[in-house]
Amino acid sequence: MKKILIILLKMLFVGSILVYLIQSDRLNFEKLMLFRDAPEILAGMITVFVLMVVPMATIRWWFLLRAIGLHVELKQAFILTWIGNFFNTSLPGAVTGDVVKGYYVIKAQQEEGRTRAFMTLIIDRFVGVFGLIVMAFLSLVLNHELILSQERLHSLAWMITALFGCTVLFYMIVMYPFKDGHDPFIKLFHFLPGKKLSLKVYSSFKSFQHQQTTLLLTLVLSIVLHTLIALIFFYLAHLMGIKEMELATQFFLMPVGLITVAIPLAPGGIGIGHAAFESLYQLAGFSGGADIFNLFIIVQLGVFLLGGIPYFLYSSKYKIPLEQQNIMEKN
């Protein structure tokens, strides 16, 4: 009952955001017809997602699995990633993609291997967020005159700088080889809000302290992956008639918008993402952020739903027992 109530509250919150954006003329679903006038952009987006974004996300997770001795075939990792994306596009409260990906890897491992496999899922998720932070900061550094010339972006620039500093510090700490039982940060996390999640994330990354190359490589893969997505947003902005926005500004704003999308309220960040991109574009002196995100998310959700094909073709193989769903969601 509690779970259903939470789902309903999430849907109500997201629905309220969408209604507000539509009624205030900040979101217009008729803009989707722009793809009819520029089918090459739609085809390009689908190609990038299918041939680059999903494979790169697969390889990133596969590297993490291989680094700790879990030998999963790349083909299997690709199928699981695709199916995971399918579940991530389902209604809030459905089995998450991470649960699906993790179950089929974990069930084939001994107890120790299961813990390590679960940790790769946590690392994979957060490496994606860290990649967004690094990308935004690099864009700020390389184009500081352009970005800082826009006074309304100053507070955002300081926030990204602070997040980048925290990211660098976090990586330095997790890579430092503390002696067993002498890690001072374990005690520190007990005093932080959300200590359970904080400890899970820290412990997961700390288990890779001797796999520094893998941690840095997956971070680089995340940055490259997000760069492709930023280019998609740039071309969508041009499609919307926003041709004055510099590529550097897009590379700075897009990561911030996608960080907010990481909040698990609705599939693909629907609602939250619309509001975030509308606000970010307005900060930069442009309108249409919600419409641009809408064009992006509709195509992404459509592509990710293709993950349902392998799932339903092999439903007996990829069906998770209900009791296992509950156990993994609690973990």
Altogether, the residues listed in the chain come to a count of 331
Q: Which residues, at least 6 apart from 147, have a Cβ–Cβ distance to it below 8 Å?
A: 139, 140, 153, 157, 248, 249, 252
Reduced 3-state DSSP string for 207-251: CCCCCHHHHHHHHHHHHHHHHHHHHHHHHHHHHCCCCCCCHHHHH
Structural domain contains residue 251: yes
pLDDT, position 1? 63
pLDDT in tens, 66-109: 998 888 889 888 988 988 888 877 655 444 677 777 777 776 66
Residue type, 168: V
Residue type, 283: L
Element counts in the chain: helices (H) and strands (E): 18, 0
Domain that holds residue 133: 38-330
Spans in the chain with pLDDT lower than 50: 93-95, 323-324, 327
Structural domain contains residue 2: no
Structural domain contains residue 149: yes
Structural domain contains residue 31: no
Number of domains comprising the chain: 1
Structural domain contains residue 222: yes
Residue with tokens 């179950």: 103
Q: How many CA atoms, within 13 angstroms, populate the side-chain half-sphere of residue 308?
A: 10
Transcribe 79-94 into DSSP letters.
HHHHHHHHHHTS-TTS
Question: Nearest 5 degrees, angle CA 44-CA 45-CA 49?
Answer: 115
pLDDT, position 14? 66
Q: Is the dihedral of CA 95, 96, 101, 102 positive or negative?
A: negative
pLDDT, position 311? 80
Q: What's the rounded Cα separation, in Å, for the pair 76 and 95?
A: 19
Q: What's the rounded Cα separation, in Å, for the pair 89 and 278?
A: 22
In whole numbers, what is the pLDDT of the chain averaged over residues?
83
